[in-house]
Copies of this chain bind each other. A is one copy, B any other.
Amino acid sequence: MIARIKKNEELFSGYFLVDVEAEGIGRDKTGRSASPGQFYMLKVGLSTDPLLRRPLSLHRKLSDDSVRFLYRQAGRGTALLSRLIPGDEVDVLGPLGNGFPIPAGIKHALIVGGGIGIAPLMALADYVSGERKDITAVAFIGGRSREYVLGAEEFREKGIETFMATEDGSLGTMGLITHILDEYINEHKHKGTGGWAIYSCGPHPMLISVAALAKKHGIKNYTSMESNMACGIGACMGCVISVLDREHGSSIYKKVCDDGPVFDAEDVVW
């Protein structure tokens, strides 16, 4: 669908927030509200190059007719997007994908994000702090240095306890956020980790560490995966990753775009 840019602002060098508007953009084809962890495919420009749509996660649902994305200028597609101004058009497909599952019984959500990985986690925080007050969320946000620690203020405004770590120590603890996460779990697990779930999104190495931690502590970890995409809707088989098929004990290929992008970290063949 053709959406209109409402606002497109640089947060800091190379990181942007863009609000786009179109009737019903906040709901899927069946009328279901876009949910945290889902994503959209954006086509910028009229040219055949860049050819393919680019996936961006729902960062915040502003209304049924308006959504926000947080994006990093990674290459040509996002560079073109960053040049759009209010009133410009962008072709948007979505919401797509499965979103973060919140199985019955979840009471404590550990939200772990690195860098731009905070994009879909904000939507989760919005949802939990808004519609699921029965769940307490704690956030762990890491980044190379202070600018890369995105969203921490918003998390705190929502009343979410938020830990931060930077590799250079310019904000929060110096080191990796997974270290803080580990400490947190160690400190609190005596109260029992039943009803806990870890939600992670960020650089691949971080996701691997989080998955390992989760496994070590016996906590469920739902992780948002990335992959190059062509169609975004499950038709091309281009975006698969290797996932454990529990039934047969062997690994099979699953599509990030519609079997995911969120997977049970235990199943991912890292």
Interface residues of A (CB under 8 A from B): 45-50, 76, 79-80, 85
Contact = CB atoms under 8 A, between A and B. Distances in A.
A218 to B, nearest CB: 50
B46 A47 contact: no
A46 B85 CA distance: 17
13 contacts: A45-B45, A45-B47, A46-B76, A46-B79, A46-B80, A47-B47, A47-B49, A47-B50, A47-B76, A47-B80, A48-B49, A49-B49, A85-B85
Contacts of A80: 46-47
Given A47-B49, A47-B76, A49-B49, 10 more contacts: A45-B45, A45-B47, A46-B76, A46-B79, A46-B80, A47-B47, A47-B50, A47-B80, A48-B49, A85-B85
A90 to B, nearest CB: 13
Which 7 residue pairs spanning A and B have beta carbons closest together? A49-B49, A47-B49, A48-B49, A47-B47, A46-B76, A47-B50, A47-B76
A49 B46 CA distance: 9
Contacts of A48: 49
Secondary structure call for the A interface: loop
A150 to B, nearest CB: 26
A44 B45 CA distance: 13
A2 to B, nearest CB: 15
Nearest to A45: B47
Contacts of A45: 45, 47
A80 to B, nearest CB: 8
Contacts of A76: 46-47
Contacts of A47: 45, 47, 49-50, 76, 80
A50 B47 CA distance: 7
Contacts of A79: 46
Contacts of A49: 47-49
Nearest to A85: B85
Contacts of A85: 85
A85 to B, nearest CB: 8
A188 B48 CA distance: 55
A77 to B, nearest CB: 10
A23 to B, nearest CB: 24
